[in-house]
A and B are shown apart, each in its own frame.
Chain A
Amino acid sequence: MSISARSFNEWLATAGLPDGASQLSKLLGMKRTTLHNQRIRGRIAVSTVIAAARAAHLNPLDVLGAFEPYAALGQERKPVTDAELLSQVSYVDALVHLMSRIRSDFALSLGGVPMAPIPFDDSVRNWLDAIDPGGIRQHISEHGGIAPSNLSTQLAENRLDPALAILASRFAGVSSANGLVVAGMVTDQEADWPLYGRENALAELGDVELIDLVSDRLESLRRQTKRKIDAENAAVNFLETLG
């Protein structure tokens, strides 16, 4: 859901940002024509508002919360849950942690490996599964006005419209900002996620829970890899037969 250009222009004036398309687009690091088209249509994309907030050295969530459709983001933010933090652990992170837990020499050599930045493949799907109290996809489809197949497409592309992310958060009773974090629209710092939150959540997992997490991630990796290899084999066969 986009934001009205009129409200955006009013906010620009209050934030002390230039109003001219050339200056503003340069400041936001986006194409002048893209910004111009959004203004002509009267609808400003959420990503533009976020870029403008960052340019004004303001928290994007606070700025988004000032606009009507995203008022929920401006309200008091709940702390991120452990389940959400663990959902943002990639299979590489989980494997590194498992190996480090198994042998101390591995822990020494892998200790400097940073965790995968958010978003990574399937970070949105993992988050949605982690917060799902049951029937979350159906709820999003029914109340967000999106067909289940289109929702699946968004998840497969590792994205979720901000309005749908907020809808999902409300349904699950978690902070409205977290969906925007896992989709890569805002950073975990901007959403006040704790520093080393993911590392600490991993460290607090019991051995069996850690193995379960690795197992889940590997199962998902297997599915993705199989799909990728099938597509690649089909492409190679096509090219070698007709090319």
Chain B
Amino acid sequence: MEILFFVVVLVSAVLTLTRIPGLSHSLNQSIFLSGLCAAVAFGLMLPAVYAFVDGLFLRTNFTDLFAKLALLLAINILVCEIASALRNPRVLRLTAGISGKTILVLTFVLALILFAFTDTPEASPGLGAYIDDPLVLAYNTVIVAYIGYLGALLIGPLLRDARTPPQRLRQVASALLAAGFGLAIVRAVLMVAGLAIDGLYDFGQILSGITALLVIAGLVSAWMALRKYDTSRIRQSALRIG
């Protein structure tokens, strides 16, 4: 799992770096920010980094709260961008609109309250060592359920887009994003429904890592597609036939 998270950090960082050239033209700012937050979130989950950062705080495992905030921000920004890319006003309203922001804030506040009541004396990334504690489980479930909620909003529009020709690489991008968000839903359902299964937490963490890699692969495909399909060429007169 540690290796998987390390790979996620690495590819998130590389993806983020590819977006730097566009920043000066006000392009890709949100994707850059999302990638940065994702790299920070998964980076903080690496045991060595986690232990170091957690040593800076008085409250043990305070780092996990930062990691989860970074993760929520990363995914919220990304989902807003995807909704905007797909021109889906419903998803935009439920993520970037007032209702969407309210849900995000409520999720984090709820996670904060649950975290405040947990008793975790030893540093443990994701509070994995205390997952049998109902409060810790509820704290993790809130975050995972929110990500599942975002996945549920996006999966339909993404699957529709993945079936829309003609740019094949763009379809691949949508399909990979749909697969990633589909896994996020599976993870949320497993977490909510399979509360008592041993080893489910570790399996869920692996699913999170794969989800992140699929979403990043989708964004890489979109990045490649933009370069492959010159948008100025796409924009030439639709009437031209020869």
Whether B238 contacts A242 by the Cβ 8 Å rule is no
* A238 and chain B: residue at smallest CB distance: B85
A238 adjacent to B86 (CB under 8 Å)? yes
Chain A residues, CB < 8 A from B170: 235, 238-239
Whether A243 and B225, one on each chain, are in contact in the complex, defined by CB atoms closer than 8 angstroms, is yes
The answer for the CA separation of A133 and B227 in the assembled complex, in Å, is 50
Whether B239 contacts A239 by the Cβ 8 Å rule is no
CB distance from A120 to the nearest CB of B (A): 9
With A225-B238, A225-B239, A228-B238 known as contacts, the answer to whether A242 contacts B231 (CB < 8 A) is: no
Q: Does A241 contact B (CB under 8 A)?
A: yes
Given A231-B164, A234-B87, A239 contacting B238 (CB threshold 8 A): no
Question: Is A242's CB under 8 angstroms from B31's CB?
Answer: yes
Asked if B219 is an interface residue, CB under 8 A from chain A, the answer is yes
The yes or no answer to A229 lying at the interface (CB within 8 A) is yes
Distance between Cα atoms of A232 and B87 in the complex (Å): 13
Known: A242-B219, A242-B222. A235 touches B87 (CB 8 A): no
Cα distance, A114 to B137, chains bound together (Å): 74
* Cβ contacts under 8 Å, A235 to chain B: 167, 170, 229, 234
Contact of B226 among A225, A234, A240 (CB under 8 A): A240
- Residues of B contacting A228 with CB < 8 Å? 238
State whether the Cβ of B173 lies closer than 8 Å to any Cβ in chain A: yes
- Are the C-beta atoms of B173 and A242 separated by less than 8 Å? yes
Contact present for A239 and B225 (CB under 8 Å): yes
Judge whether A232 and B226 touch: CB under 8 Å. Answer: no
Contact code string B193-227 (vs A, CB < 8 Å = 1, else 0): 00000000000000000000000000100111111
Q: List residues of chain A with CB within 8 A of the CB of B241.
A: 92
Q: Which residue of A lies closest to B31 (CB)?
A: A242
Residue B84 interfacial (CB < 8 Å): yes
> Contacts of A221 on B, CB cut-off 8 Å?
239
**Contact at A241–B81, with CB atoms within 8 Å?**
yes
* Interface residue ranges of B60-115 to A (CB < 8 Å): 81-82, 84-87
A69 to chain B, nearest CB (A): 32
Partner of B85, one of A92, A225, A231, A237: A237
Chain B, residues 122-152, CB within 8 Å of chain A (1/0): the string is 0000000000000000000000000000000
In the bound assembly, the distance between CA atoms of A238 and B169 in angstroms comes to: 12
Residues of B within 8 A of A243 (CB): 222-227
A-B contact pairs, 29 of them (CB 8 A): A225-B238, A228-B238, A229-B238, A232-B234, A232-B235, A234-B164, A235-B167, A235-B229, A235-B234, A236-B231, A236-B235, A237-B84, A237-B87, A238-B85, A238-B86, A238-B170, A238-B173, A238-B174, A239-B167, A239-B222, A239-B225, A239-B226, A240-B231, A241-B82, A241-B84, A242-B82, A242-B173, A242-B219, A243-B227
